[in-house]
Amino acid sequence: MMTKILKINPLSPEPSKIKEAAEVIKRGGTVAFPTETVYGLGADALNPEAILKVFKAKGRPSDNPLIVHIATFSGLELIAKRPAKSALVLIKEFWPGPLTIILKKKKIVPDIVTGGLDTVAVRMPDNKIALSLIKKAGVPLVAPSANLSGKPSPTRAKDVAADLSGKIDVIIDGGKTRIGIESTVIDMTTSPPTLLRPGGLPVEEIEKVVGHVQRQSMSHETTPVRSPGLKYRHYAPKARMVIVEGDSDAVQSEIKKLAEKGLKDGKKVGILAFHKEFRVEGCITKYAGSRPGTVAGRLFNILRAFDKDGVDLIISEPYGGNGLKLGIADRLRRAAGQG
Ligand code: TXA
Ligand code: MG
């Protein structure tokens, strides 16, 4: 299959190009498009055959459900049962934006979207290209991140092309995504609500509006998996990755020790740094920034760049905290296989 690249102006999407991409969706094809978080791989959310193409192109396990993207509130009404009051308040406050809400689904949503669950994940992205594409297609779109399953999510059209060229119909190039990590996923069918995936919208912002939000236990040994996607290794570069925890002096000397051992064993070693001055002789050091907004924007690019450099071992400084840092720490842990 030939994948067509359509360059579209993110500030003022050309109607003729949006129309061209929307026609592909209507015919049951697949179109990668930018959102404010990461690029998504879109298909008609009401067409099971089109959705099957998304699973196939990504190599995604069929029990991992997809987020349905809408552009209007009638889109919400079409696919989800009437949300509880607290969910409506969230929607009003944060849509369009990096927040995915789990609601009870309506029958019209095919089982292949939800992996057979009676709930559906819904979000209204804050991106002009995404919104105009959904409107023009006239249907809600499923859109998982447009990467091969398990790889770091794409924040640029060329990342999508590297993973999916030849496997999908169209890639819209709408520039770099604004946030860089995926949306926050919150289950509003539980009381209190449950955070299933920290992401672009800090959970503290959500709590200001709906009160306490319970964190899903990260141990899947003891709790049933509520968000099926969480049980797979994710965002993972080819290299083995380790995060060195501890206070900063101890971390620096431990990283040096591990790096020197890796080099002695003949490995190509990468260092993922959040402190500018941090360097280890003989290693490829990449600086992700220190402010969370910067780190979120760079993290997946850096993981992909280490792959390109042929790095065998990535040693990372620790990173974490509240707000956006929580989502970043989650992606970092999963990349290191500590999901
Ligand atoms: O920012 C984002 O959310 C991006 C952009 C493209 O919108 N999309 C994205 O999709 O990250 P994906 O498929 O990579 O991640 C969807 C997550 C998975 O962890 C999945 O298990 C969860 O949402 N999910 C989807 N439907 C669900 C449901 N009904 N109940 C619980 N979790 C669900
Ligand atoms: Mg994904």
CATH code for the domain of 312? 3.40.50.11030
First to last CA, the chain: 34
User: How does residue 236 score in pLDDT terms, banded at 50, 70 and 90?
Assistant: confident
The answer, yes or no, to whether any atom of ligand 1 lies below 6 A from the CB of 37, is yes
User: What residues make up the domain containing 27?
Assistant: 4-215
Q: What pLDDT shows up at residue 233? A: 63
Average pLDDT estimate for 90-105 = 98
Q: What pLDDT shows up at residue 333? A: 94
More confident site: 289 or 277: 289
Q: What pLDDT shows up at residue 221? A: 40
Say how far apart CA 338 and CA 234 lie, in whole Å: 10
Q: What's the pLDDT tens digit per position in 48-66?
A: 999 999 999 999 999 999 9
Decide: 121 and 68 in contact? Cβ < 8 Å: yes
Residue 136 in domain = yes
Burial class of 180 by CB neighbour count within 10 A (0 to 12, 13 to 18, 19+): buried
Decide: 43 and 30 in contact? Cβ < 8 Å: yes
Res 197 pLDDT > 90: yes
Average pLDDT estimate for 65-74 = 98
CATH of residue 45: 3.90.870.10
Say how far apart CA 127 and CA 137 lie, in whole Å: 16
Same domain, 272 and 127: no
Residue 148 in domain = yes
Place of tokens 């409107």: 135
Residue 220 in domain = no
Q: Which residues have CB less than 5 Å away from ligand 2 (the ion)?
A: 145
Residue 118 in domain = yes
Res 116 pLDDT > 70: yes
Burial class of 199 by CB neighbour count within 10 A (0 to 12, 13 to 18, 19+): buried
Q: How many domains does the chain have?
A: 2
Res 230 pLDDT > 60: no
Q: What pLDDT shows up at residue 229? A: 59
CA dihedral of 205, 211, 212, 213, whole degrees rounded to 10: -60
Average pLDDT estimate for 107-120 = 97
Pairing of strands 4-7, 184-187: unpaired
CA dihedral of 325, 331, 332, 335, whole degrees rounded to 10: 180
How would you classify residue 278: left for phi > 0, otherwise alpha for psi between -120 and 50, otherwise beta?
beta
Same domain, 194 and 251: no
User: How does residue 88 score in pLDDT terms, banded at 50, 70 and 90?
Assistant: very high
Residue 310 in domain = yes
Same domain, 9 and 158: yes
The answer, yes or no, to whether any atom of ligand 1 lies below 6 A from the CB of 183, is yes
How would you classify residue 206: left for phi > 0, otherwise alpha for psi between -120 and 50, otherwise beta?
alpha
Same domain, 207 and 251: no
Q: How is 5-44 classified by DSSP, letter by letter?
A: EEE--SSS--HHHHHHHHHHHHTT--EEEE-SSSEEEEEE
Whole-number Å distance, alpha carbon 4 to ligand 2 midpoint, is 22
Residue 176 in domain = yes
Q: What pLDDT shows up at residue 220? A: 43
Same domain, 303 and 194: no
Average pLDDT estimate for 6-21 = 98
Identify the nearest ligand to the CA of 229 by its number: 1
Of 6-20, 178-192, 268-282, 306-320, which gets the smallest average pLDDT?
Answer: 268-282
Atom 17 in ligand 1: residue holding the nearest Cα: 229
Same domain, 191 and 284: no
Same domain, 126 and 265: no
Same domain, 118 and 172: yes
Q: What pLDDT shows up at residue 219? A: 45
Say how far apart CA 20 and CA 270 lie, in whole Å: 42
Same domain, 193 and 245: no
Same domain, 260 and 186: no
Last residue of a domain, one of 181, 215, 249: 215
The residue among 148, 186, 120 whose CA lies nearest residue 39 is 148
More confident site: 276 or 118: 118
Same domain, 13 and 155: yes
Q: How is 287-326 classified by DSSP, letter by letter?
A: E--SSHHHHHHHHHHHHHHHHHTT-SEEEE-----STHHH
Whole-number Å distance, alpha carbon 268 to ligand 1 midpoint, is 34
3-state SS class at 263: helix
Mutate to test the pocket of ligand 1, among 63, 67, 226 (most ligand atoms within 8 A of CB): 67
Say how far apart CA 246 and CA 145 lie, in whole Å: 32
Same domain, 177 and 118: yes
The answer, yes or no, to whether any atom of ligand 1 lies below 6 A from the CB of 66, is yes
Residue 227 in domain = no
Residue 234 in domain = no
